[in-house]
Chain A
Amino acid sequence: MNPASRLLLLIGPLLLFLAAAYLVPFLGVMRWSVTLPEPGFGQYRAALGDPLVLSVFARTLRICAIVTVLSVTMAYVITLLWVRGGPAQRTVVELCILIPFWISVLTRAFGWLALLSNKGLINGWLEALGILSEPLTLVRNEFGVIVGMTHYLIPFAVFPLASSMRTVDERVLMAARGMGASRMRIFWQIFVPMTKPGILGAALVVFVFALGFFVTPAILGGGRSVMVAELIYLRIFQSPNWGLGAAISVILMVGVGLLLALLMRQVRQGGAR
């Protein structure tokens, strides 16, 4: 047996599993999108012509972009402490990253609900202290969704950032310092650009993950700030219009695929130069 076929034998089971679990269902969804209720691209026309669907797409992209910027920025600070901080800082950061990681997304969403709702802890305190007379609306809107999603996604951004920060050669930073560069300059002009692949990787992971979010927006958005995944769910299980749901799914998949391809090219070019 030549090495190529031996390799195929080794990864074969994984390929079969992926095909059975992802490819076959996705092809099925694609088929629905062009056959239900009748053959043709009618559902795509309906989806892209429907102001509701378009506004959900726009909201999804907006929320995902904000969540990506927020979680990557916060994760950057956390990772900096984790990778370059002292032993005590490291332990605290590890606990703060890992403990939420073990808690289910549902529990965390309800946790935020308990904290942010009109009768929740924050509004309760603020009213008890006399700072507010009317409760602040912190959930059942985009704000709540963004808070919940950002909190959930920060750990996913930490790992690509950490691996990229760990590869930064200490001597390069020393070289800059030795020439008289200030800490701020070293951070912004040397350290951040050197960790750019990690930043792009983290942003990609968070953004793609965020696009498919279902539980958090459903609970913290309270039906008022519907995102794409929830819309697909509604079209399939409640309206029910399987063809339209399938068409929206395919549009989402193609969009994510294009984004991935674009970013991968960017990263590869950055590495080659």
Chain B
Amino acid sequence: MKPNGFLAKLVNFVEMDEFRAENYTLGDKAKTPISEDNPANKWLAANQGKEQSVRSRVYHWFDARGLDIFTTLYRFMSVIICVTLVSVLLSVIAALPPFGNPTNPDVNEVVERYVSKGTEETGAVNAVAGMISAYRGFDTLGEAHVLFVAACSVIVLLRVDPEERKHGVLLDIPETGEDMDFEPNGDEILRKSAKLLVPLSFIFGMYVILNGASSPGGGFSGGSLIGAGLILNSVAFGFHRTERFFGDEMYHLVKTACLTAYAAMMAYFIFMGANQLPDHVWLGIPGTIFSGGLILPINFVVGLEVACTMYCFYALFRKGGL
């Protein structure tokens, strides 16, 4: 026997949600329409205009309005919880040491060594680059793989197999056609400005990557510039132009080569460091491009990886493939 009343509606609500999930397949709409036999609607339809005892009116009032009450209560509670959380966190911030104060607990021997001996130990004038790529290089290795795993997940979710695309199996193609059919969209202003900006953003990206050890920037920021250039290129000239030099195979090649090289360099560095062996890395001349020892090649591979990931996200969301 199914429960009735308020509980039934809640169950019905949840089941409808699951029903939708189960019947939702990519490409075709839900095959069967969702049944409208909500007990509340049925009751209201059956009892319209009838005389009611007070008791049944009260009972059915809750029956008919329970879900609304629940929803209202839910909204109300969520606001209360958020406000409480915000006020707790704000009072914590008020209790924390003020930002940038020289007597703060985070101004200690750790930071002091990064700043005062960083250039000497890592070869990088940029203390941030020295810290993220050398002192705490293992974290950054993990961070690069976070990007990789994120890109792979987006591929899992959005990549459409070229064969399936050809046969139209999986895609729910609207009658007006896909985004792809309107490429390139032929905007003259966009194309002219892209002609100017794309090479600029590539060159500036490379500049930021190569000077990562001696000035603000590095692999992550330079890589996003290059990625932005790639995206702009395909927006202005269409995917076909970008695919000529950066397609599926190129993406996989660059990505695998970069991450493997990065892991190999970090593994060598960590292995030598942990075993107290000399690592024979030439630290270079601080302030020039060839400085920072492994920081330069690390910035290079991280930059390429970030550029790949950014373009990969864009291409997958736009057309379901590289």
A and B are partners in one complex rather than unrelated chains: no
